[in-house]
Amino acid sequence: MTRRLRTSRRDPRPAIALLVETSNQYSRQLLRGIRDYLREQGPWALHLTEQGRGHVVPPWLRNWSGDGIIARIENRDIERAVRAVGVPTINVSASGLAP
């Protein structure tokens, strides 16, 4: 399993994990907003895998070492897993759980 999401160790792009489902309108709008931001502010190395809302913690997250996370933190398991990574995190959920 890859520990870094960058294309190389010299890749200056921030490695950002997106823990956002793609199955509903709200999440697709979030992803469009991220895309629009990246078009103006520069490239990120993104990691996005398909998952459901409030889904279980993705297995790859335990060994991931990137620069930040944008997530819909919908349950305590995901909250704990995101905290354990120890990188800056933005929670785009209305659930009220803090990263």
pLDDT digits 0-9 by tens, 11-69: 789 999 999 888 888 888 999 999 999 999 989 999 988 777 666 788 899 888 899 99
79's tokens: 């909250």
Residue with tokens 């931001």: 37
Single-letter residue type at 77: D
Other beta carbons less than 10 A from residue 13's beta carbon: 15
- Which domains occur in the chain, in start order? 15-91 (3.40.50.2300)
**What's the pTM?**
0.81
Confidence at 81, pLDDT banded by 50, 70, 90:
very high
Judge contact between 92 and 70, C-beta under 8 A. yes
End-to-end CA, the chain = 24
- DSSP-assigned beta bridge partners for residue 91: 71
51's tokens: 């998952």
